[in-house]
Amino acid sequence: MSERCQWSEVNEHEIKYHDTEWGVPEHDDRKLFEFLILEGAQAGLSWDTILKRRENYRKVFDGFDYNKVADYDGAKIEELLQDAGIIRNKLKIRSSVSNAKAFIKVRGEFGSFDNYLRSFLPDGKPIQNSWKSMSDIPAKTELSERISKDMKKRGFNFVGPTIVYAFMQAVGMVNDHVTGCFRYQECRDME
Question: Looking at the annotation, which residues are catalytic?
Answer: 17, 39, 47
Within 8 A by CB and 6+ apart from 13, the residues are 48, 51, 52
5 assigned to a ligand binding site: yes
Report whether 96 contacts 40 (CB < 8 A): yes
The sign of the torsion formed by the CA atoms of 183, 187, 188, 190 equals positive
177 assigned to a ligand binding site: yes
Burial class (CB in 10 A: 0-12, 13-18, 19+), 171: buried
27 assigned to a ligand binding site: no
181 assigned to a ligand binding site: yes
Which residues define the annotated binding site? 5, 18, 177, 181
Which residues define the annotated binding site for Zn(2+)? 5, 18, 177, 181
